[in-house]
Amino acid sequence: MKTAAPLFQFILLAFLLGISFLPTQAHAQSDHKSYLVSQVDPDEAYDPFTDYSEFDEESDEEADINFFRNGRFFTVGLAGGYRGFTGNFADAYESAPTFGIFLSYFFDLRVAMSLGFQTGDHAVKFTVNNESKSYTGNVSITSVNVDLKYYLNTQNVTRGLADLNPYILGGLGQFYRTYTIAGLDGFSRDSTMGFDLGAGLEIPLMRKKAYLGIQGTYHYVNFSDENKSYVDGSEKLDKNLTGDFYNFLVILGMNF
């Protein structure tokens, strides 16, 4: 009987401890909360800040990145060269040097708009009345040209030629002409619109910060006295003044 008392007390104590532990364990289990994990469809999600792009296609974005990395915004060039004439102009006007300045604005790697100014003086000689009399003097020709330039793709040529920038151009020009003739009083001035057509080549210099250009341009013009047979309204020219002129220029420019 003495040994049964402690055993009974131990069983009673364990039972009481078990009862006191059950509410605590139940309360601990009640603290576990359930969560629902949301699923997002990436096709339906839209973020106006991360999803915005001004490019419709990846090729457009690549082209713009290439332009900002390798392209030019505009160029400034000083030009000097030779001006010649065709038709009867070649008989009356002597070929002579011409000088000018050019500005080009690039829309992309291939297309640019060029604004040019050129001027030059030429000796002139007219013969009249079957060469019985002649007039000599000077004629000054100045032009303002607006041309569209298209640069050809050289990526598929050999490595040595890939750095060259060949182009073709076409546009309009305003041409001014001033005569100073010995034996005739005063000056004679006139102007006309014309068309430009030409081609050129640019060679990069100074790690593409500058360039050396070669350009040839044909100018189609029609001055007011073309196909007229008289000088000063009375003396007949031996040859009517007809023809156009052309330029061969060397351009030294800077890229920006």
Judge whether residue 121 has pLDDT over 90: yes
- The predicted model scores a pTM of 0.71
Neighbouring-strand partners of residue 88: none
Fold of 73-255: Porin (2.40.160)
CA atoms of 141 and 150, how far apart (whole Å): 27
Answer yes or no: are the C-beta atoms of 251 and 214 closer than 8 Å: yes
Answer yes or no: are the C-beta atoms of 215 and 202 closer than 8 Å: no
DSSP, residue by residue, 129-164 = TTTTEEEEEEEEEEEEEEEEEEEPP-TTS-HHHHT-
pLDDT band at 241 (very low <50, low <70, confident <90, very high): confident
Lowest mean pLDDT among 42-51, 152-161, 223-232: 42-51
CA atoms of 13 and 3, how far apart (whole Å): 16
More confident residue, 65 or 207: 207
- Picking from 240, 233, 244, the residue whose alpha carbon sits closest to that of residue 194 is 244
Question: Where do the structural domains in the chain lie, given as residue ranges?
Answer: 73-255
Q: What would the pLDDT profile of 95-109 be if each residue is shown by its tens digit?
A: 999 999 999 999 988
* φ/ψ bin of 147: left (φ > 0), alpha (ψ from -120 to 50), beta (otherwise): beta
